[in-house]
Amino acid sequence: MLYAFIINSLLVSAAVVIHYEILRLLSIIIPKLRVKHRIRVIVGVFGSICAHIVEIWLFGIAFYFMSIYGDFGSMVGNFSGNLLDCVYFSFTNYTTLGYGDIVPFGHLRFLAGLEAITGLSLITWSASYMFMEMTKFWEEK
């Protein structure tokens, strides 16, 4: 249980740091672009999507290794045990879409819950960031 808590804490912390750093980098790069405002917004949207994809893969890799090694639990359902199944589960979980075709058991259930709340928080953070960036461009002529 202690190992699961430590791993889960590190995963959430890493996702938040990755997200912060990518948004910080975008806030430096976007104002320096010598392109139309619309293109700047598109760069921001794609940059934030890339951040989410990196974070989803981080959780997916964790699900993969935690389901194979240690006594963290298992995943059942439409699950063959490969990395892409874990990343697919991570995508549906991070976005809180939750099809339910893959179900975690054991300590993986807690990680799934943490990923969902982390994903929800980071997605809203991206939306807030993009709103702030777009507001800057709307004020300019």
Q: What CATH number has the domain bearing residue 133?
A: 1.10.287.70
- CA gap 73, 75 in Å, rounded: 7
32 in a structural domain: no
User: Between helices 83-94 and 108-139, what is the axis angle to 10°?
Assistant: 60
Residue 16 lies in a domain: no
The reply to whether 30 falls in a domain is no
The number of distinct structural domains making up the chain is 1
pLDDT at residue 139, as a whole number: 61
Produce one character per residue of 72-86: b if its CB has 16 or more CB atoms within 10 Å, e if not: bbebeeebeeeeebb
pTM value?
A: 0.92
Residue-level pLDDT at 38: 82
Distances (CA, A) of 133 to 17, 18, 41: 20, 19, 7
User: For the chain, which ranges sit under pLDDT 50?
Assistant: none
Range of the structural domain that residue 127 is part of:
53-139
In a domain, 7, yes or no: no
What pLDDT does 94 receive? 97
pLDDT for position 140: 55
Q: Is residue 106 part of a domain?
A: yes
Structural domain includes residue 85: yes
